[in-house]
Amino acid sequence: MCVAAWLAEHDVPAVRLADVPGQPVEVSGRPVTFWIELPAHQHGSAADVAQLLRQLHALPRPDFELPLVDPFVRVPERLQAATTLSTADRTWLRSLHQDLAEAWNAQPLTGRLCAVHGDAWPGNLVRTVDGPKMLDLERFSLGPPEWDLVSTAVRRWTTGAVTAAEYDEFCSAYGSDVTRWDGYELLARARELRMVTYAAQHAASNPEWAQQAQFRVDCLRGRHGPRPWNWSGIM
């Protein structure tokens, strides 16, 4: 709720809280919040993501506490749930997670830190008649702005979901290309790991996704040649 109010204060287009006193309210032991319904909308584009991120990253730090970004949040839980994968593959992924987490923790955050969305991709925004709007604020945190940019770069250079022209538009709209940043490789590999473990977790309860989950693991393990690998979407 603090994030939503802060975004509204700074005129960042995003979902807005409804003016309901006493939020959140408790219903059957669960907190409930109320939001203004979005107008007619459609999926956004990579350029829309860049437009919103450029506006977000230019803001001063909020005056309330945000957690530091964690590129590996829920990865251990996802691996635990990834029962369609072999023991060998899960062991390999856990080792990769450990190596990447150690590299991240050993890297001092000496660059600029700002509020980051945490999961910035076209699935977490919509385009309305008033322009793009940001959704899904649960991963907001304090971190390097590059973490938000890496997602689109990975969708270009790893998964093939973003075309060369779309990526050029993204970089032009934001004003820079994150792949030229020294820390890109580490955060790109972290994002790849997140995408693999997300698919593997959901494959356990959705057998139709097991093949895609295994394909993603095989790609990381070098079984399908160099990037991009043309991953299919999950959900």
| Per-residue tens of pLDDT for the chain, all 235 residues | 899 999 999 999 999 999 999 999 999 999 999 999 999 999 899 999 999 999 999 999 999 999 999 999 999 999 999 999 999 999 999 999 999 999 999 987 778 899 999 999 999 999 999 899 999 999 999 999 999 999 999 999 999 999 999 999 999 999 999 999 999 999 999 999 999 999 999 999 999 999 999 999 999 999 999 999 999 988 6
- The four Cα atoms 25, 31, 32, 35 give a dihedral, to 10 degrees, of 100
Give pLDDT, residue 137.
Answer: 96
The domains of the chain are located at: 2-220
Give pLDDT, residue 107.
Answer: 86
- The four Cα atoms 131, 132, 138, 139 give a dihedral, to 10 degrees, of -130
Scanning the structure block, which residue is given the tokens 């057998």? 207
Degrees (nearest 5) of the Cα angle 23, 25, 29? 150
Give pLDDT, residue 152.
Answer: 98
Give pLDDT, residue 235.
Answer: 66
For the domain with range 2-220, which CATH number is right: 3.90.420.10, 3.30.420.40, 3.10.129.10, 3.90.1200.10? 3.90.1200.10
Give pLDDT, residue 110.
Answer: 73
Do 134 and 125 meet the contact criterion of CB atoms below 8 Å apart?
yes
Give pLDDT, residue 224.
Answer: 96
- Model pTM? 0.94
Give pLDDT, residue 233.
Answer: 87
Residues with Cβ < 8 Å from 122, sequence gap 6 or more? 43, 44, 45, 46, 48, 49
Do 83 and 201 meet the contact criterion of CB atoms below 8 Å apart?
no
Which tens digit of pLDDT belongs to each residue from 164-223? Answer: 999 999 999 999 999 999 999 999 999 999 999 999 999 999 999 999 999 999 999 999
